[in-house]
Structure formats: C-alpha cells, structure tokens
Structure 1
Amino acid sequence: MLSQRRQFQIACILVVLSGAASLSHQLLWTNRMTDLLGASAASVARVFGCFFLGLSVGAGVMGWKISRVKHPWRWLACAEFAVALMCLPILWLSHWTDWIWPWLGLDGLLGWQGASIKWMLSMGVVFFPAMAMGTTLPIIIKGVSLASALRSQFSVWLYALNTLGGLLGLGITGCLTLYVFGISGAMMLAIGINICVGMIALWVDRKSKIIDNHVRRDLVPDGGVLATLGQIGWKASITAFASGFLILALEILAMDLVMLIAPLSFHAPLAVLGAVIFTLALSASCIPLLGTKWRRSSQWIMLLLAAAGILAAAGPYWFVQSAMNTEGGLLVDSLFSFTRSLVFVVLLSFGPCILLGGFIFPSLLGMIPDKCEKSNAVGFLLAFNGLGGLLGAEFTYGLLMPMLGVYLGVGVVAVIYVLMAFLWVQWNSKRKPVFANLAVFGALLITAVSFFWLRQLPVVNPNMGLKILELDSGREGNLAVVEHENFGRGLLFSNQYLLGSTNVGYDQERQAHIPLMLHGEPKHVCFVGLATGITPSAALQHSMVEKIDVVELSSMVTRAAGTHFADFNAHIIQDPRAHVYVEDGRTFIASQRDQYDVIVSDLFLPWRPGVGRLYSAEHFQSTRNALRSGGLYCHWLPLYQFTKEQLDLVLRTFQSVYPKVYLFEGKLQLDAPVLGLVGFKSGDLKWEELQDACRRERLAGNIKDPTVRWLQGLAMLFRGTIHSDVQYENINTLNNMKLELQSGLDRMIDPEGSKYLTGISWLSLAQNYLQKNAQRGYPNIIQDYPLKGMKISVLSERIKQGGETKNSSLREIFTQMPEAMFKDQYSDWKRWAGAEISVRWKPKTD
C-alpha cells in the first residue's frame, strides 16, 4: 500500500510527464493538421480552437463526474491510453486523407463543403484526444490523498508542475525530437509518454486503496453541478475565465510584436511560447509559498489584476526600447543564443505582466473552500480558464488586431485587466474602502492614458527610412505598403521580409514569361503566390493565355495588390481572364486534376513557418497531378536565401517527381539570383517549338522584354539539365520538415548570409552546371548562348561596380548577342535581364 506522501510524489512525476506529452502533441498536431488543412491563419486558429475547446470540455466533464470516481488512478490510465489511441489517426493522417481534396475539387474546397470538412476533421482528430488530456489533472488531484494541512496547496503544486511539464515537452520536441525523428517519430515518442503514464497509473491503482466516496460526503453537494459551482463562487468562475482570456490574448499580441524583429521561422514562435509557459509555471510555483492570508485574500486578486493592467500597458514601450530601436534585430550565432535573446526580449517587455497575471488562476485554485471537493472545483475552474483562453485568442485574432492593431490591442487587454480589478473591489469589499477605489481608478486612468502614446509606437522599424502608405494587421501578422528610393513601392511583411517591389517589376514579370514561353501554347495557367501581382500580370501579355488562376494565402496581400499596385500589375484582379483565390497554395493545387498547362510557384521564404510545405515532395506530386498532358511546372528559388546544401535538397526532392529538370535563371545578374526548376509532366523541352513561340509573340507585339522575345535570349538564361532516374531517399517531405527546420537554423547562425548562393558562390555553381551540360553538348539551335549568358552576368557585375571597365563591358555585352536581337526596334531595353544598358553603345551596322 502506497503512503499518501508517496502517492503525491508519484503524482508530481505523472503531471510533469502528462504536461510534456500534451504540449508536444499540440505542437505536432498543429504542424500535421496544417499539412492537410493548409497554412492559412484560419486553419491554424481552427486547430488551436479545437485543442483548447477539448481541454476545456474534458476538465468540465471531470468537474461534473469526478466525485463518483472510486478508482482515479485507473481512470487516469484510461485517459492516457485514450490519448495515445486517438493520436493514431493524426500519426497516419496523410495516408488516409490524401484523397479528400482531389475528390472534393476546387469548387468543393472553396465552398461550404470544404469549410465543413475542415471543421469536421479538426473536431474529429484534435478535439477528442484534447478532451481526454483535459481530464488528467482533475483525476490526478482526485487520486492524491493528503493531510488536511496541505489540502489548500497540493492542487496548486500539481498545476505548476503540469505547466512546467508542458514547457519541457515543448522544448524537447521543438529543439530535439523533430530534428532527429521527424514529425511521426516525435509523435510516437509523445504517444510513448502517454502509455508510460498510463502504465504507472495502473501500478499505483493496484498499490492504493479504493476511494470511498461516502467518507467525505460533505464535500459533494446534493445539488450537483450548480451546487459545486455555488461553493466555488461565481466570482472565481468569472475570474478564471477572464484570466485565460487575457493571458491568451496577451500571448498572441506579444508573439505578433516579437515576430516584427525575429526571423520568420519555426523557432521564433516556439521561443515566445516557451517564455510565456515558463513565466506561468513560475507564477504557479510561487503561490504555495505565500501565506494563507495573502493566498485567500480578495485584495490580493484585486492588486494582481490592477498591477497586471499597468504592466501590460507598459509592455509595448519596453519592447520598442529594447528591440525596435536596434539595427540588427535578433539575428545571432546559434540556436541557443537566439532563443536566449528572444526569451529575454519577451520577459523584459511582457514578463512582469504575465508573471502577475499568471498568479491569478493558481490563486483561485488556492482559494477553493475546504468544504468543496478539490478535484471537482479544479475541473470546473480549468474548464472556465480553457474556454476563456479559446475566446481570448479568437477575440484577439478576429477583432483586436484587424481593428486596432497590435499596440492598441495590448492597451485593450490592459484596460480589461483593470476593469476586472474594479469589479473585484465592488464584489469583495463590503465597505468599499476609499483607498481601494482610488487605487483601481488610478490604474484605470494610467491604462487609458497609455492609449495616446501606444498609437505613436512604430510597427515598421523607424531605422529603415520607409514611407508607410498603409498598415494592415490580421491573423497572418502585419503587412505594410511602403516606399523607398532603393526599391520603389513594396509589400513589407512583419517588418522584415519584402514580398515584392516595383523597381524589380521587370524581373518579376520574367518569372512568368519564361515558363509560359517554354510551354509554347499555354491556355490555362496557375500562379501560386500573388504578392504585388506583377508576376501573374505578365501572363496577360501572352496571346495564347485564356485563363489565369492565382492562389494567395493572405487576404491582406490580395487587398494591397488590388489597391496599391493596380497600376503596376495591369489591374489583374479586375481582369476577366484572371481569378484570384484566397487559399493555401498546397491545398489549392491538391484539389486540381489535369487542369493547367503551366503552374508557376513564386519565390517563397524557405524558413517561414508552413512555407516549407511548398518545397515538399508531396506538393511537387500534387503539381504534377494538376497538370495537363505536356504541361510544365516551374518553381522559382530565391538563391540569395539558399545554401548549396539546401539547393541540393530541393533539387533531389524535385527530381523525385520530375526526373528531368531544366534550370533557368531569372536574370543575368549575380547579386540576387533566382533559379527556376522546370519539369514537364510528359515529354521534353523542344527548342524548335520554343523558337516558334518566340516568333509568334514578337508578331503579337505585347511582350517587350528582349530576353524572352528571342530564343537566344531565353537560351542565355538556360543553366543546364539535370536528369536522373535514381529515387533519392534524402528529400524534403511533410513528415521531416528538413528544409524549413534547417533553413531556419542557418538563418539564425549565419545572419550575414555568408553561405547563401550569391555573387561568386552562385557563379561557380552555375558554371559547374553549364560545364557538365557542355560535355554532353547543347542543342545546335541554341549554340553556346548559355555560356554567353553566364558571361553577360559577369559583365553586368562589372558595369554595376563602375570604373574604367564599365564602357568596355557595355560594348562586350552586345558582342554576346545575336544581331537580330539587338536590332529589334520593338524591344524595350529597360526590361532587359542584364544590367541597365544604354542604346548609345549599340554597334553601328552597315
């Protein structure tokens, strides 16, 4: 027979393990469900909501039924085994769901059917295991029998340890098991923890006595749920709800702010979440150390609420001072130092508020009356707290950020904290002392005044020298339409990544021209990614194109492209030939079968969360399925954001679906090279047909870029062919997330981008590709123009550097071109793929 103290010690170990498994599952479920539902903010919020709703319902059910449980350890084992069993559908999610979107089709995906299936899958796959998770803490508290002197503290200790376990699970999964074992392996480890907890619980059940529910019948009121809630007190229930609501709202706003300075990678939100959970665990651990007088004092709750409100209002100010007014952001030299720096910023800015706000819920646990059954009360309070967290997240994503922005959103949270303090004064002070009212009124005044200076805080780093035309906030983050003399007008996402700009508009157009010309007769084309809209708008210049589909993940980007870039993108959003869909690109393509002649994927940031899925073998296979016979897929790579190892990884992955890969460079310059991977569903590139297509488009007269009007110009951009029938195993898949994880790490440990493929590093690699193809021989029709194109890239760099060789380099560029090309009077040489050249250097002809 186990002693009460030994049972408590075992319970402490089990709540840590259970918490670790729960947060590990939550992280992995979000990634796995994103693979199916798409990387849109709505999909992530749907999974997040189902998880919190499940936790809340599970805790509520235990609050209702736990008093009748005689074998709590046996129930705990059943709950943990249920979590493990219900995780199996998520583990093999891709194996039994890959038919859904192709079967549903585009209309179904975008209609009520798609929304319904997404909700049903989220509820069926996430809600029920989360519900089982929500039952565990009340059950463990039920199973622990301690001396009455400790009854007011042990539930708080168990809650603190459960929170700390969540932090451990998050850190181990995000920093270790995902890298070593991939998503499936990490999930198997988490399932293994659930099974271990269940087995230990069964052992404890055998060694402990059956709880006689009649022994403490005075703790179970006859009125059932309502009577138990009456014992807890409606004030405590409302405050538990408000605590979850405000903590989750503040967490989301803090994460949105931090993402303005941290690299858009998988690791940044993980570090923010870890900092918040650590602070909450610290708060809960401190509560049992306080005296009973403080712990059960209503003035204590009032003080916490008022102080949390004031500190929340000050959080954005400290954030701007510590992070936004620095030049380099948080780019450091290792994952550890990155995490340490990011956690420091979070704790400095929002740590004091979260610490005091984190005192509130465990204080409510410590205030549970002795006459009330602890496990029932904890279950109900956890249910209210979880439901508050769910609604707080939705309120922040759906209303606060879109309507007020991130800074004023924090201000609203601060005001709600102080209003709750005011309510506690009214509820709990019979004489309503003047000092309490004055204190709360002063706190409310401070937070209200903070709105005036919160409006003045910058979302876009003031050191960038940008002119802000419009700033939009939403679930996806912050999007600014900005202008700068270096790049013209552009879209700045989360204060650090430029989605596109007008000064490189001709280069962006060429990313559409090249694949469309390579096909020869494209009628129905698709672009994955809208950004400024300049790239897909180039398809309007092609005489054969009849229909253009553009899929864009962000509604904010779509609005900005139509409002601020219409003059640059030929008003593509209003053009009757074009249809813009707001949907995840991978999900959209997966719903199509034999639809397109050409699919073009834009330049995507490889380390941005969720974007790595667009470089996966599964997505490449979906593009192949969506193509018509003879169709081609072109995936553009921003080489200035890729290392050689990452490029090789993507090439192997691409070849696993398209064995023969044609490489085309987007421009004849080395400073920010882009490389197009082109694969045909059937057949090969026919240079003679490409020559006919060039002739046809020159006659049509819409395309003015001399590089794509002529076969020789396109040949200058050709960097060779990679052909292999070998099936590579080391590729990027949805399960291993290799590209997203590795590129995110490289971005942090190599902030200067010294390994990225620009300048000399790309030149040597491109020359290697060309030499290998030259040994096999180029088709006679293109002669040695690929080598000439590489030479023009080198000459373009000399021209940019200026100096005495500039004029000779300009003359030499023309010697690399065919006569017909530089004599083409209908070409616009401003659109030329190389460095800017002046017509006065054209050679004279007889």
Structure 2
Amino acid sequence: MMQPRIPRSLSLLFPLFFLSGFSGLIYESIWSHYLKLFLGHAAYAQTVVLIVFIGGMAIGAWICGRFAPRIRNPLLAYAAAEFVIGWCAIAFHRVFVGATDWAYATLLPATCSAEGWCLSSWILAAALILPQSVLLGTTFPLMTSGILRALPQDPGRRIGLLYFLNSFGAVFGVLASAFLLIPTIGLPGASMTAGLLNVLLALGVYLIARRSGIPAPAPPAPRSAGNGASPGLLLWVALLTGLSSFVYEIVWIRMLSLVLGSSTHAFELMLASFILGLALGGAWIRGRIDGLRDPRRFLAAVQFLMGLLAIATIALYNASFDAMAWMLAALSRTAGGYVLFNVGSSLISMAIMIAPTFMAGMTLPLITFLLMRTPTGERSIGYVYAWNTLGSIAGVLFAVHIGLPQLGLKFSLASAAMIDVLLGVALAWPAGTPAVMRWRAAALASLAIALAGSMVLDIDPARTASGVFRYGAAALPSSSTVLFHRDGKTATIDVVRHAEGHLYIQSNGKPDASYRPATAGSGEPSPDEYTQVLLAGVALAHRPLAQDIAVIGFGAGISTATILANPAVRRVDTIEIEPAMVEGARQFRPANEAAFSDPRSRIVYEDAKSFFARSGRRYDIVISEPSNPWVSGVSSLFTQEFYARLRRSVNPGGLLVQWIHSYEFSTPLLASVLAALQAGFGDFVVYQSGNDLLVVATTGDRLEAPSEQAFLTPGLGRLLARYALRGLDDLDLRRVAGRATLERLLPAIPANSDYQPYVDSHAAEARFLRTTVDRIDEIHRYPIPLIDLFEHRRWHRRGSASEPQRTNAGASARPSPEALIDLIGGDGTGIGRETNRVYAGTLRTAYRLLLQECASASTTAELWDAMVSLAILVNPASRPDRAQAFWLGAAQSGCIARLPGRYATWLALFAAVGARDPQGMTRLATALLDGGGLTPGQREYAVLSALAGSLARSDAASAQQIVERWMPQLTEAQRNAPAFRGLRALSGL
C-alpha cells in the first residue's frame, strides 16, 4: 500500500532529529567526562554521573507524558528545549570551571570526608547538568508527539523511524566526539560545537513549526481488541527491559575491555556498536509495526529472543579472543594498521552485541505503539521513555554494585537475560487465543534454554587474563595458572603465576605489577620489582626525613612496603580505586606484608583526584604509580589541573615522584606530561628503571641533591641493596637528565589537560604502534656524555666501605660502571642491554691486540675503530673518575710508545671525554682533526667531541670555527645522527 506523501517542510524534521541524536550523545560523552573530572572515577562516582544524567532524562520524559495533552504545539516546545540546551552547552565550560574551582577551594574541604561519598559534590554535579538532562529527556517525546499529530497515519512507522534516526545520529555522535572533536578542539570546543548545532537545529524546527499547523492531540482511543496488555504491565516491561539492557551494556563493555583494551577509544567503539544495534532494531520494526496482527505476542517473542541471544554472547565472547589474536597477527603496526585495528574492534563488538541489541531496539517502539492504543494515548510516549530510563538507573545500580562484584560477568549477564525471558513469559502467558498452549510452551522452552545456557556456557579465565589486545595470544599458556580472579566494580583483576614463577597482577588483562619470589628460578627480582623499589628509594633519597607519604595506586603493594622499611616514616596513605586490586595483591605476600600489617599503613579505596581534593592532608612525598595513561580515565592523573591541585596537598619543599612508562608511549606524549607537571611543580629530574621513567619533582624552584641517609638506614638499606641500590652512585647510573636539559631535548607539545586531553587522545595509538620514548633512548646512544657536560653534573664517588657490585642491566639507565672491567678481563656479565656478548668479545680482543700484544702500526690502524667503539661504550656509562683512570692506565701501555703520536692523543681524548673535561675535549679532538688520516667513524667522534667541548664551555667562536671547518666533511647521515641533534638542541644552535 502506498504511503501518504509527507509535506516537504515536515519531512525536514527527520534529518533534524538525526542531528539531535548526534549532538545528544556528544553531550552525554562530554558531560560525563566533565563530571568524572570532578567526582572521580570510583564506582560510586560513576554511578552518580549516570544517575544524574539518566535521571534527568527520565524526569523530562515524565513531564512530557504528564502534560502532553496541554502542550498545544509540541514542535515549538521541542525547539525551545533544543535552544536552551544549546546555549547551556556553549556556556558550560566556563560555568563548570568556576563552580569546581570554588568547590575544590571551599566547598569540598568544608563538607566532605576524605573517603566515600560526598553529598555536597553530588548536589553540585546535579546542579551542573541536571537541568540540561531534563531538557534532553523531553526531546524524543516532544518530537514524536509533534510528528504524530501532524502525520497521524501509521503511528508505529513514525515512532520506529524517529527512534532509528535519533539512535543512528547518536552512533555518529559517539564516534565524532572520541575521534574528531575532542582530539582536535578539546572538551570546551566539542561542547560549544554541539551547542551551536543545537541552536541552529532549534531555529530550523521553529521555522517549520510556525509554517505547519499542528492539530490538537486526538482523544484517547478505546482499548484495542487483540491488544490485551494493561498500561501498567507495559510500563513495567519498559522499566525492566531498560534495566536488563543497561546491565547488558555494562557487562559487555567490561567483557570486551578484556579483548579490545580499556582505552577511551575502545570504550567509544563499544558504545557506538551497542547504540547501532538499537538503531537497526528500530529501523527494522518501523516498516512492520503497523501491520502486526498481535503486537503483544510479537513483543513477547522479542523479549524471548533478546534474553536467549544475550546468553549466547558468552559462546561468541570466547571466540572473540581468537579473532583479536588473528587480527593483530595480520595487521602492521602503522597508522593505517591502527585504523584497521579500530575497524576490526568495532566488528568484534558488533558480533557480540548486534543481535540482542537489535531486539532491544524494537522494544520501545512496540511498547509505545501498544500503549498509544490504550486510553493513555499520546502521554504514553513520555511515560514509556521515563519508565525505560528509570529502569536504566536501576540497571546501573545493580550491575556496578551487586552484579559485577557479587555475581561476576557471566551471572550478571545471565540475570539480565532471565529478566527479558521472564518478561516474555509475562507477555505471552495470559494470551487468550487458540494458540495459547503453543505460546506457553514457547515461554517455558525459552526459560529452560536460558537457564541451561547460563549453566553450561562459561567464560574462560585463561582467555580473559591473556591480555590479547597487547600480546596477540588468545589465551594464557597451559603452564600458567590464574591464582585469583575477581570482577570488581571498576575493573576485572587477575593474579597469574607463569611457569618461571613470576606473579603478575592484572587489571582488565593488562599487567600492572609483577613479582618473582625468591624461590622461583634464579631468584632474580622482576623488572617491575626494581621499578617499585626504586620509586620508594629515590623518593627517600631526595627527602630522607619524610614522615607523611601518599602512594597513588596499590599495584603489588611493594612500593608501600618499601617505604615502610624506613622507621622515620610516620604514615603512608595508599589510595587505590579498586578494592579487588588490594585483595589480589595478598597473593604477593610476604614481599608486601608491611602494606597490610604495619600500623602506619592505611589503604584508602577512592579515586585519587577526589581524595586529595577532599582530605585536607598534606604530605612530604606523593608517589604516583597509577595504571598506564592509555587506560580510560587514568590520563586525568597526568594533567596540569591535577598537578596544580595536587601541589596543595604537598608540604613546602615536598616531592612528587611520578611513574611514566617509556614503552608503548612516545616522545610527544612524554613531553605533554612533563609540560603538565610544571603547572604544579618546579624543578625535576628523571631517572630510569628498565622501560620505566621516574620523575622526581619538587614544589620549589630547585630540587635538592639526593642524600646517602636512606642507604645507611639498616632495614631500608638492606632492602634497597637487594635491588642493586647501595648508594648514590647507583642512583647516578639511573639518572637520565634534569628539567632544563629535557626542555631542550623534547619537542614543544601542549600540556596534557583535563579539557585538552592530548595523552588520552593519542596514547592508545602509541600502545598499538609499540612506539617508545625515542628521545630518551637516544640519550643512551650518545657516543659521549652530552648530558653530564651540559648539566655540569658531579657524580658521587662510591664509598670505600661498599664493595663494587654489578647493577642489574634491566633496571639501569646505562651499563654498569663495572662493564669496562668485564670488557677487558671478565666474562661480560655486567654489560648492559645496549651491548651483547659477541660485540664485547670483539672489543676485548682489539684492546688486547693493541695495548697488550703491541700489534703493528698497520694492524693498529685497522683496529682503531674498535677502540673508538670501546670509548663510546665505556665513557657515557661510567663514573668520571673510573673512566678517566681506565684510559690513563691504557696510555701507560708500552705499546703506545711504539706507535705514532696520534694514538696517544686518542687515548688522551678518551680520558678527557670520560672525565667530562670540555676544554681538553676541544683541544685534543681538534689536534686529531688537524692531523688528518681519520676514518669516517673516527672523524665523526672527533668533530662531536670538539664541538661539544666548545659548546659546553659556551665558547661560541670556537664552536663556529668547528662547524664551518669540519661539519661539511661529515655525511648528511652523520650530521643528523641523534648525538648531533641532541647537541643542537642543548646548545640552541
């Protein structure tokens, strides 16, 4: 049958409503982000955000349902609502910043405790977004009422179409917000963009409404024969199916976080997939709803199928790990590969969610259509929306606070599925037709299948703990054992023991800390242990008299336990957002025993931002070791706003010790974090432990030098010594550079901000690309100690009471100073990762031939490049006194006296470089260059040494002569080598 022609002006309302859905989801994303910045990311705070937003929409929908007959022109009312929403969005950022600054400074310290919920913060959060949320809740009922009054034919088709368009617009709103608007113009720009769109949208609807006559609402229809559903039952179905759908959403997002990763990009892709299923369901039903013979029975069938398909997602879920593993194996780690990774992640999400959400997308149009055939009439549009939204609030409360922590992922999902199946039973059971027995049999069969499926199907912990999104393995190896598994309110926590004895504690599949018990394998500590101990050690070395210390992130609890080994410490507050993390860390006893049993230790379950904003306590040291900043929400602990507020909680002269990973990160991301840190702190220095960076920052203008006291404290000193930290010279080995140096070496990148989240927008891609902080890597490859020369740094000498010990290669920023001894007379076991045993053996052989066996002049000339390589290895990695003594000792070899004088000059140059003597470097290197006869590698080393010596002494004239005379003799590749780039950056050339 042909559909009646829609007037052109009214037909424009449909694309406008698509735009309304587009902007509405931008608001949901942005306002939720804003409120989480204020309330934090703890489970109860996330619940408050959702309740305020969804509750406001429920109130708005209820108002429309209650007063629908009195609204003369729903389209004009809709235009007014969109207009106000738009202007609220345009002004929102300034209002939010002003209100929260006042709250942090005045309201929260006066009215809130350091832990738990805070009523005043909830009230302020509600005041900030509740009015707009109420208005958003009115938009669907008002637009639907206006369309149905103007086009009363085929009401079911109109409702389904509007539901589809609004949901489909929401899909694009989610994606545009995450991948376009926030990365390019930040939260304020995204809010303003959506606001301007709403204002223009309101003006368009206003013009259409003024030109089109909207009739008064039709009188309520008598109850339709064949309907058989009371308004009360249908409203309860709307509420309970809203509850189950929101449980599905929360559970599926947690499940898929273990497959796709828990980044913001992954979350938005999952949300878009969920909403897409709803939209497609609405699109499918719109063309069929008016022709249904028995809409109630059809709704019952939809509820049956939704529950059964939700249970079936468990089986698909286990297969999704294989799909992700296959995809990662097939993709290249490039920018284009990351685009395909996101596309593939969306496909995996849709494979899990699309079928049940397709069913869910039909429920509201069907319920509304049924209710409109009752005396409720047009008011049913608002009522159904309101009850469904109230059910969503109940679903949030159940899933976060009961389902996940008490039932786990599988049984939370099964509980929601059973609700949908039981709703189908309730709708089908009283059917009074000859087919009643068949419908009752179908209801009972669906219930039995749902129960059987929830018992038979299971989620494999070896898969959920595999971290497939990082490692590409669909499951843990059979030799690994999951010792602890718990679905917490904010994350799923696992403790895994691998074959070699390593213990890992994981959050949503990502290892957060590891520990190797002394009984496992060689007993050598894990790299993570070195980092956790160094965090505490470097903090206490720089602030040995610290008494009150806060630690952000419990992890394995080893950092907290290390701090408590210092008897001078009075109190340690460890702030952890997920209680299941602390429970899992009990598996790491006895390494972290003090964190649990020492009376000075206090574990606080709270979001760190909220804790410091409300506690009013001040600390001598704050150690921040949260999860990786690509994890959704974590990057807010690396922003300039957080650092500025954190400073208020640090005593004058106190320290922040910030952990940052250099793996799966990038130089621009590090530069952004360090720029943000300067908003609250002054001078800083960076240490390195393996692939981890530790930033020690002071509230003052100058960071005090570390003290030996921490290493002399009996209990603490013994613990630090186990991890190759026996004194200040071991800290020297791990030192990378100070603030002034890094500001020159790192690119100028905008500071990471709550409102311009540079790190959150780019960190997930860096994780996929497996990039590293290459500028830090380059520092370790400099042939000469450029950083020491330009910082004029004095190394600490090893005390005579301490025996020289090798430093763990994986924990140090450079090779052990004893590497030079190993190279000449040992087995090379102390050499860092920058060299390998074969290379070391080659250098030892060259040294022996040249300086011990007195090779001929021709052989010496052939092998001298090996001596330059030895200098490149030894000098940047060794204390100046040891390096200088080594080369001066080599110069005493009788072999040197038999060789041309330039070789003695070379050894003198090596000694000058090792001693960090810039004047000697320039003089000796220039002499070698003037003498000629150098190989390309030798010439590069000599030019670099001469130029660095001049620039380190600020001798611009000498540097200019070297640049003009010798730089043209280098190849372009040599001139652009990392050391020359670093030299240009450090000197400002």
TM interval, shorter chain, is: 0.7 to 0.9
Question: What's the counterpart of residue 836 of structure 1?
Answer: none
Are 1:184 and 1:735, in contact at CA under 8 Å, matched by a contact in 2? yes
**1:30 CA displacement:** 1.1
The structure with the largest alpha-carbon Rg is 2
**1:351 CA displacement:** 1.7
Q: 1:404 to 1:803 in 2, by over 3 A?
A: farther
The code of the aligned residue for 1:674 comes to D
Say if 2:287 is the partner of 1:289.
Answer: yes
Are 1:16 and 1:162, in contact at CA under 8 Å, matched by a contact in 2? yes
Are 2:565 and 2:716, in contact at CA under 8 Å, matched by a contact in 1? no
Question: What's the counterpart of residue 678 of structure 1?
Answer: 696
Are 2:239 and 2:391, in contact at CA under 8 Å, matched by a contact in 1? yes
The code of the aligned residue for 2:65 comes to G
**1:259 CA displacement:** 0.6
Question: What's the counterpart of residue 600 of structure 2?
Answer: 577
Q: How does 1:98-177 map to 2 (within 5 A)?
A: 98-103=101-106, 109-110=112-113, 115-144=118-147, 145-177=149-181
Are 2:69 and 2:379, in contact at CA under 8 Å, matched by a contact in 1? yes
Following the alignment from structure 2 to structure 1, what is the Cα–Cα distance between the partners of residues 617 and 240? 51
* 2:395 partner SS: helix
Question: What's the counterpart of residue 777 of structure 2?
Answer: 762
The code of the aligned residue for 1:266 comes to T
Of residues 202, 217, 220 in structure 1, which corresponds to 2:206? 202
Are 2:612 and 2:646, in contact at CA under 8 Å, matched by a contact in 1? yes
The code of the aligned residue for 1:678 comes to V
Following the alignment from structure 2 to structure 1, what is the Cα–Cα distance between the partners of residues 138 and 716? 72
Following the alignment from structure 1 to structure 2, what is the Cα–Cα distance between the partners of residues 798 and 75? 69
Question: What's the counterpart of residue 477 of structure 1?
Answer: 491
Question: What's the counterpart of residue 658 of structure 2?
Answer: 635
More displaced, 489-498 or 628-637? Answer: 489-498
Q: 1:237 to 1:640 in 2, by over 3 A?
A: same
Question: What's the counterpart of residue 619 of structure 1?
Answer: 642
Q: 1:210 to 1:410 in 2, by over 3 A?
A: closer
* 1:542 partner SS: coil
Are 1:551 and 1:583, in contact at CA under 8 Å, matched by a contact in 2? yes
Question: What's the counterpart of residue 664 of structure 1?
Answer: 687
The code of the aligned residue for 1:771 comes to L
* 1:684 partner SS: coil
**1:446 CA displacement:** 1.3
**1:625 CA displacement:** 2.1
Question: What's the counterpart of residue 721 of structure 1?
Answer: 738
Residues 795-825 of structure 1 deviation map (CA, whole Å, 9 limit, x = unaligned): 544599666959999xx999968999xxxxx
Say if 2:397 is the partner of 1:385.
Answer: no
Q: 1:211 to 1:357 in 2, by over 3 A?
A: closer
**1:557 CA displacement:** 1.1
* 2:261 partner SS: coil
Question: What's the counterpart of residue 901 of structure 2?
Answer: none
Question: What's the counterpart of residue 752 of structure 2?
Answer: 732
Of residues 62, 69, 72 in structure 1, which corresponds to 2:71? 69
* 1:560 partner SS: helix
Following the alignment from structure 2 to structure 1, what is the Cα–Cα distance between the partners of residues 115 and 640? 29
More displaced, 97-106 or 246-255? Answer: 97-106
The code of the aligned residue for 2:574 comes to V
Residues 460-504 of structure 1 deviation map (CA, whole Å, 9 limit, x = unaligned): 347212311121112213111221134622211112333443443
Question: What's the counterpart of residue 669 of structure 1?
Answer: none
Following the alignment from structure 1 to structure 2, what is the Cα–Cα distance between the partners of residues 647 and 594? 29
Are 2:111 and 2:120, in contact at CA under 8 Å, matched by a contact in 1? no
Q: 1:756 to 1:798 in 2, by over 3 A?
A: closer
Following the alignment from structure 1 to structure 2, what is the Cα–Cα distance between the partners of residues 613 and 770? 35
Gaps of 5+ in 2: 467-473, 517-524, 820-829, 845-872, 883-989
Of residues 791, 794, 819 in structure 2, which corresponds to 1:779? 794
Say if 2:503 is the partner of 1:489.
Answer: yes
Question: What's the counterpart of residue 827 of structure 1?
Answer: none
Following the alignment from structure 2 to structure 1, what is the Cα–Cα distance between the partners of residues 365 and 328? 33
The code of the aligned residue for 1:528 comes to I
Question: What's the counterpart of residue 336 of structure 1?
Answer: 339
Are 1:398 and 1:474, in contact at CA under 8 Å, matched by a contact in 2? no
Question: What's the counterpart of residue 840 of structure 1?
Answer: none
Say if 2:379 is the partner of 1:412.
Answer: no
Say if 2:607 is the partner of 1:549.
Answer: no
Q: 1:592 to 1:377 in 2, by over 3 A?
A: closer
Following the alignment from structure 1 to structure 2, what is the Cα–Cα distance between the partners of residues 20 and 212? 29
Following the alignment from structure 1 to structure 2, what is the Cα–Cα distance between the partners of residues 799 and 772? 18
Of residues 540, 543, 557 in structure 2, which corresponds to 1:516? 540
The code of the aligned residue for 2:424 comes to A
Say if 2:343 is the partner of 1:346.
Answer: no
Q: 1:699 to 1:484 in 2, by over 3 A?
A: closer
Question: What's the counterpart of residue 81 of structure 1?
Answer: 83
Following the alignment from structure 2 to structure 1, what is the Cα–Cα distance between the partners of residues 116 and 649? 21
The code of the aligned residue for 2:273 comes to A
Question: What's the counterpart of residue 187 of structure 1?
Answer: 191
More displaced, 367-376 or 172-181? Answer: 367-376
Following the alignment from structure 2 to structure 1, what is the Cα–Cα distance between the partners of residues 722 and 49? 46
Following the alignment from structure 1 to structure 2, what is the Cα–Cα distance between the partners of residues 298 and 356? 14
Are 1:59 and 1:382, in contact at CA under 8 Å, matched by a contact in 2? yes
Are 1:635 and 1:678, in contact at CA under 8 Å, matched by a contact in 2? yes
Residues 207-256 of structure 1 deviation map (CA, whole Å, 9 limit, x = unaligned): 2336446xx345699xxxxxxx9997222212222221222111211111
Q: 1:604 to 1:326 in 2, by over 3 A?
A: closer
Question: What's the counterpart of residue 97 of structure 1?
Answer: 100
Question: What's the counterpart of residue 704 of structure 1?
Answer: 721
Are 1:320 and 1:457, in contact at CA under 8 Å, matched by a contact in 2? yes
Are 2:88 and 2:195, in contact at CA under 8 Å, matched by a contact in 1? no
The code of the aligned residue for 1:778 comes to R
**1:612 CA displacement:** 0.8
Q: 1:800 to 1:250 in 2, by over 3 A?
A: farther
Q: 1:373 to 1:800 in 2, by over 3 A?
A: same
More displaced, 369-378 or 763-772? Answer: 763-772
Question: What's the counterpart of residue 442 of structure 2?
Answer: 439
* 1:663 partner SS: strand
Are 1:521 and 1:693, in contact at CA under 8 Å, matched by a contact in 2? no
More displaced, 260-269 or 723-732? Answer: 723-732
Q: 1:576 to 1:756 in 2, by over 3 A?
A: same
Give the length in aligned residue pairs.
796
Question: What's the counterpart of residue 394 of structure 1?
Answer: 397
Residues 634-681 of structure 1 deviation map (CA, whole Å, 9 limit, x = unaligned): 111111132122122222222344342212223xxxxx4211111211
Are 2:565 and 2:715, in contact at CA under 8 Å, matched by a contact in 1? no
Question: What's the counterpart of residue 910 of structure 2?
Answer: none
Residues 691-748 of structure 1 deviation map (CA, whole Å, 9 limit, x = unaligned): 3554456897665347444122222222221228999772111111101111112223
Q: 1:720 to 1:456 in 2, by over 3 A?
A: closer
Question: What's the counterpart of residue 903 of structure 2?
Answer: none
Are 1:302 and 1:424, in contact at CA under 8 Å, matched by a contact in 2? yes
Q: 1:818 to 1:173 in 2, by over 3 A?
A: closer
Are 2:289 and 2:366, in contact at CA under 8 Å, matched by a contact in 1? no
Q: 1:420 to 1:429 in 2, by over 3 A?
A: farther
Task: Compute the RMSD of aligned alpha carbons.
Answer: 3.6
Following the alignment from structure 1 to structure 2, what is the Cα–Cα distance between the partners of residues 763 and 69? 69
Are 2:729 and 2:795, in contact at CA under 8 Å, matched by a contact in 1? no
Identity %: 19
Following the alignment from structure 2 to structure 1, what is the Cα–Cα distance between the partners of residues 286 and 716? 83
Q: 1:789 to 1:368 in 2, by over 3 A?
A: closer
Q: 1:675 to 1:287 in 2, by over 3 A?
A: same
